Amino acid sequence: MPGAGRQLAATTLRFVLLLTLLLVASVSMTQFTLANLGLLRPAAVTCAGMVPTDDRRVTWDPTDCVELQAVTPPWWVIPAASLLLLGAAAVLFAVLPHWKARRGRVLPLAAVDREGQVGRMIAELVVQTGLRHAPTVLVDPTALSAGAVVFGRTGRPRLCLHGGLLARMRTEPHAVRAVLLHELGHIDNRDVTLTYATVALWRSFVVVALVPFVATHLHLIVRFPFTPGAVPTHRNLLAAALLVTLVYLSRSDLLRTREFHADLAAARWGADLRGWSAASPVRVGRGRRLLAGFGGLWRIHPDWESRRRVLADPGMLSRIPALAMFLTGAALILVDAQLFWIDPSAVASAAGSAVAPAVASVAAVALLATGVISSLVWQAVLPAWQAGRGGPRGLRAGLWLGLGMLVTEFVSGRVAIWEWLPQQPLLLVLLLLAGVAVTWWITQCCYLWASAWPGRSLRPVRWIVFITGFVAIVGWMTWWRGPGVVLAHGIPLPRSNIALIFAPGGLEPGQLLPYEAVLPAYVTIVWLTSMMVLEAVPLSQIAVAVSWAIPLAAWLVRPRPAPNAGLASVPGPGAEVVVTPAPAMPPRPVPLPRFRRLVLPALAGALLCWAAVATTMAVMHLALPVIGTRAQIFVNAYQGWVTFALLGAAALSASVASTLAGRYQLVAAVIAGQLTVLGGSVGVLALVAIDGCVGPLTLFHTSCGWQPGQAWTAWRGLLGGILVLSLIAAIPAAGLVAGARAVTARWRRDRPAAVHVPGWARMVVRRAFVTVVISTAMTLTIARGASAPTSGGTAARPGPSGSAPPTGGVAPTAGPTGSPDSPRLKAIEVSAWISRGGGSLTTRFFDVYGKFAVAISDLKTRKPGANGKVEVDEARIRPLCASIETIAAEAARYAAVPDAQAQTSWRSFVEYATRAGRDCSRSFETGDSQPFVTSIADLQLAYTHLAAVGQRFTDIRKAGGG
C-alpha cells in the first residue's frame, strides 16, 4: 500500500507540472497582452512577408514585416511575468487561510463541542496516527454537509468541521471517525501546503494573465476578423485555450490524487469505509463508464466509485497515469517553444557559439521532462518487479507523451506561421513516435537495472536511468527544434539535387550499370540524412553512444543467486538455476537475458557485413577500369553497397537479438545493432586499408600497402550517419518483435524464471569484451570529432558538371533596413521566406534542372546524324525550357530574400534563369542552335547561384541556433 513518501512524490511531481504550465502560460499571455497594448513589440508573429496593416491592406515585403512586428522581446519579460504570477500567488497564499478562518464564518470547536466528545476523538486520532502537528480545530455551523476540510500550511494545519458532520456524531460516530481520519491523512501526507499553493496559483493566473489576454484577443478578433493575418491571432487564441485546459486538468489531477492517498491513509489507520458514502456501486455500460471517466478528469474530488476501486486495488495509483504523461509532453513543447524565441546571441558570447545556448535551453526543459517520466515509470515498475508480476511496458504511456507533444506543437505556431498546418504535416507524427520510443526505452532500462543491481538501494540505478533518459531527450529535442522545425516548413533540398551529384547520368534502370543498381536507394538515404541533418545535431553521437553503452553495462554486474530457491544441492558456476517463487521474497520476474544472446547476433551480423563488403569488392573489381564520370559514380556505388551492408546487417542482428531477449526487445535491438555497426566498420576499414594487397578485392590502389589514414579519411564521413540510422532502424525492428510476441502470447507457454550466474572467469572475459567495445566506440567518436571540419567551413558539394557552389563559413551580415541584427530572428526570417513560397520555387527549379541535366547527358550519348549534328529531342526539352522561364518569372516577382548576401545571389539566379529559359525557347522557334548552347551555360550559372543561396541559408540557421 502506498505510504506517505510515495504520496508526497506523486503530488510533488504533479505540482511541478502545474507550476511549469502556469509559468509558461502566464509568460506567453503577458507578452501578447503587453504587445497589443503598445508596451512591447511582439515576437510571436514573425516575418513571413504578409502583414495586416491598420487599413486592412496586405504588404508582401519581408522588410516591412521585420520592421513592424518581428522584434525579439526584452530579456526581462520572462522573469517579470513569472515574478508577477508568483508574487500574486504568494500574497493570496498568505491571506487565504486567514480569510477562511475569519470570525463570523467559523467558530472554535470548544464553542460548539461543550461536552468535549469531538475534541477527545480528534485527540485520540492524532495520537493514533502519530501526527507531528496537531491541527487547530474550527467549526463552520452554516455548512450542512457531513464533511470537513483541512487548510493552511502543513506546519500549521487547520481542520474545519462542517455542522452536518457534528450532527452525525451521536447517530453515526463511525462515519465521523472515518471523515476525520481522511482529513488527518492529508496532514500526514503533507499535501496541505501544495494544495493551497495550487489554489493560489490558479486564482492568480486567472486574474493577472488570463483575463487581460482574453480581453486583448477579443479586441483583435473584432478589429481583424477576416484578414490573412488573422490565422496567427486565432491560433494564439486556440493555444491559450489549450494552455488553460492543460492547467485546469493538471490542477484537477493534483487535487484528485491527494484525495485518493488520503483515503488510503485513513484505511490504513482502520477507518470504517462505510462512513464516507451510503451509496452503493451500480453497474453501468461501457459507454457510460467512458463518459464518466472523461468527466472525472475535470473533477477536483473523485467520485465514490473511483475511490472504491482505488481502495480495493491501491496498485491503481502506481500505474503510469495517461494524463500526467500527456501533460509532460505538452509542458516539454510549451517550455521549449517559449525559449525558442529567445535570441541566443545575447548569451552566445559567454558560451562561445549560438549552439551552446540552444542546447542549454533544451537541457533545462529536458531536466523537467526526464524527472517526471522516470519517476512515473519507476513508480509503476517497482511494485510489479517486487511482486514478481509483469508490469507496464511503457508503450501506452509513451503514446500519451507523444500525443501531448503533437497537440501542443500544432497550436504553438512554431511549425506553421500563417497557415493552420505545416507544409509537411506528416512530420508531426515523429513527435508521437518519439514519445513512444523514449518511454519504452526508459521503462526497459528501469526493469533492466532493477534486475541487475546487487545493492539493497536502487538510488544509484535511478540516477543511471535518469541520466540516460536525459541525454536521449536532449538529443531528440535539439534535433526537433532545429532541423525538425525547418523541415516542417518545407523540404529545402530536393532529391533530384542529390541525384545529380551521385549519378549525373541519371537513375533510370537503363542508365545504370549492374553494380550501380544501389544508387537510387543510396541517393534516397543520403537525401534523408542531409535533410534531417542527423549527424550535425549537437549531442547526437553522445546520445547514440549512451543509448547502448549504458544498458550494456548492466551485464557487467554479476547477478546474485535467486533467493529461497529451495534446491538440495549448490549449483556450480555457469549453471542454470530454476527459481521457485517464495512468498517471503519473490524472485525477479524477468531476469536479464544471457549475455551471448546479445553478443552472438552482433558478431554474426559483423561477419555477415564483412562477407557482403568483400563480395561487393570482388564483383566491382570485375568492372575495372573505369574512367571519366564513371570513376566518381564507381566510388559512390561502393559507398552505397557498404552502407546498406552495414545497415542491413545491423537491422538483422537487432531483430534476432530482440527476439531472444524476452521483455528487453528494444534494449537488445539497440545494443546488437550498434555492436554490429562498430564490428562491421572495423572490417570495412581493414579492407580499405589493405586495398591493393588482395588482387580480386583491389579497387582503388595499384600497389600493396597499409594505409589506415586514407581509409579513415574516406570512411569517417559515413560512420556518424550510419550509427544514427542503425539506432533508428532498431526501434521498428524491436516494435515488430514486440508486436509478434503480443499476438502469439496466448499460444506461448511461460517458462519458469531462470537466473544465470556466470563464474568469475566468465565475468572477467565479459568485462574485458565490453571494455574493448566501448573503448573502440569512444576512440572512433573522438577521432571523428578531431578530424571533422570546423564550424566555420562547409565541405564543397559538386554540381552536375563538377563545379562547386561557393562554400565556407560567412559571418552574418546586417539584415535589411529596419531589421534587428539578431541571428535567431534572421533564421526565423529565412524559414518564413522559404515557407511562404521560396522553398517551393527552389524545389521546382532543382527538379526541372535535374530533368534538363539528364536530357543533356542523353544527348552526349547519341551519335551524330548525316549532317554531323546531334538531333535534339524537342518534345522532351522544350517544355523544360518553358518551365524554367515560368519559374524565373515567378522568382522575379517573389519577395526579396531577408538577407543582403543571399539576395545578391538570388538576383543573379533570377537573371541567369530568365536568360536560359528565354534563349532555350528561342532556339526551338528559330532553329538556331547557338542560343541553346548559351542557355546551357546560363542554366549552370543559375544553379550555382541558387546553391549559394541555399548555403547561405544553412549558415544563417547555424548562427541562429537551429
Q: Which of 113, 126, 140 is nearest to 180 (CA)?
A: 126
Give pLDDT, residue 813: 30
Rounded to the nearest 10°, the torsion over CA 262, 266, 269, 275 is 180
Give pLDDT, residue 749: 64
Give dist(CA 875, CA 926) in Å, integer.
16
Give pLDDT, residue 436: 94
Give dist(CA 395, CA 437) in Å, integer.
8
Give pLDDT, residue 809: 27
Give dist(CA 885, CA 891) in Å, integer.
10
Instruction: Encode 218-259 in three state secondary structure.
Output: HHHHHHCCCCCCHHHHHHHHHHHHHHHHHHHHHHHHHHHHHH
Q: Which of 645, 934, 662, 628 is nearest to 802 (CA)?
A: 628
Q: Which of 893, 936, 886 is nearest to 916 (CA)?
A: 936
Tell me if 956 sits within 8 A of 827, measured CB to CB.
yes
State how far Cα 793 lies from the chain centre: 29
Angle at 459 between CA 399 and CA 328, to 5 degrees: 25
Give dist(CA 941, CA 679) in Å, integer.
45
Q: What are 319's strand-pairing partners?
A: none
Give pLDDT, residue 357: 59
Give dist(CA 517, CA 509) in Å, integer.
8
Long-range CB contacts for residues 81-87, cutoff 8 Å, separation at least 24: 81/26, 81/27, 81/30, 81/31, 81/209, 82/23, 82/26, 82/27, 84/26, 84/30, 84/208, 85/22, 85/23, 85/26, 85/201, 85/204, 85/205, 85/208, 85/209
**DSSP SS3 for 490:** coil
Give pLDDT, residue 782: 66
Q: pLDDT, tens digit, for every residue of 116-136?
A: 888 889 888 988 888 888 888
Give dist(CA 665, CA 582) in Å, integer.
28
DSSP letter assigned to residue 104: T
Tell me if 673 sits within 8 A of 663, measured CB to CB.
no
Give dist(CA 3, CA 5) in Å, integer.
6
- For residue 522, how many other CB atoms are within 10 A of its CB? 23
Label residues 405-430 b or e (16+ Cβ within 10 Å = b): bbbbbbbbbbbbbbeeebbeeebbeb
Give dist(CA 134, CA 155) in Å, integer.
9
DSSP letter assigned to residue 802: S
State how far Cα 587 lies from the chain centre: 36
**The three three-digit cell numbers of residue 959, written as one number:** 548562427
**The three three-digit cell numbers of residue 491, written as one number:** 523540404
State how far Cα 788 lies from the chain centre: 26
User: Amino acid identity of 543?
Assistant: A
Max distance between CA atoms of the chain, in angstroms, equals 126
Q: Which of 372, 383, 378 is nearest to 443 (CA)?
A: 378
Give pLDDT, residue 734: 92
Q: What are 107's strand-pairing partners?
A: 139
Q: How many CA atoms lie within 13 A of 626 on its CB side?
A: 20
Give dist(CA 748, CA 753) in Å, integer.
15
Q: Which of 488, 544, 521 is nearest to 728 (CA)?
A: 544
DSSP letter assigned to residue 161: E
Which are the contacts of 582, defined by CB distance < 8 A and separation ≥ 6?
563, 564, 566
Give dist(CA 511, CA 500) in Å, integer.
13
DSSP 411-473: HHSSS-SSSSS-SSGGGGHHHHHHHHHHHHHHHHHHHHHHHH--SS--HHHHHHHHHHHHHHH
Tell me if 355 sits within 8 A of 538, measured CB to CB.
yes
Give dist(CA 227, CA 236) in Å, integer.
15
Tell me if 489 sits within 8 A of 839, measured CB to CB.
yes
From residue 162, alpha-carbon distances to 116, 143, 239, 447 in Å are: 16, 5, 41, 47
Assess whether the previous peptide bond of 42 is cis (omega < 30° from 0).
no
**The three three-digit cell numbers of residue 609, written as one number:** 557485413
3-state helix, strand, coil in the chain (%, to 5): 70, 5, 30
**The three three-digit cell numbers of residue 401, written as one number:** 507523451
Give dist(CA 293, CA 314) in Å, integer.
18
Please list the rounded mean pLDDT of every run of 10 residues in the chain (962 residues): 50 80 84 74 39 36 39 68 91 87 80 83 89 87 85 87 85 87 88 87 90 82 59 71 84 85 87 62 62 75 82 82 89 82 44 54 85 89 76 89 92 76 86 94 90 79 91 88 78 67 68 81 81 60 85 79 42 39 42 84 93 91 76 84 93 93 90 92 87 84 79 74 88 91 73 60 81 78 55 32 30 32 66 75 83 74 62 80 90 84 89 90 82 84 87 76 52
Give pLDDT, residue 442: 93
Which are the contacts of 694, defined by CB distance < 8 A and separation ≥ 6?
none
Q: What are 51's strand-pairing partners?
A: 59
Give pLDDT, residue 650: 94
**The three three-digit cell numbers of residue 880, written as one number:** 523544360
Give dist(CA 647, CA 669) in Å, integer.
13
Q: Which of 361, 371, 264 is nearest to 310 (CA)?
A: 264
Give dist(CA 337, CA 927) in Å, integer.
58
Give dist(CA 824, CA 961) in Å, integer.
7
Tell me if 453 sits within 8 A of 557, measured CB to CB.
yes
Tell me if 574 sits within 8 A of 758, measured CB to CB.
yes
DSSP letter assigned to residue 753: P
Give dist(CA 414, CA 335) in Å, integer.
12
Give pLDDT, residue 583: 39
Q: pLDDT, tens digit, for every residue of 310-360?
A: 888 887 887 888 888 998 999 898 888 877 765 444 333 333 344 555 677
Which are the contacts of 102, defined by CB distance < 8 A and separation ≥ 6?
none
Q: Which of 196, 181, 55 is nearest to 126 (CA)?
A: 181
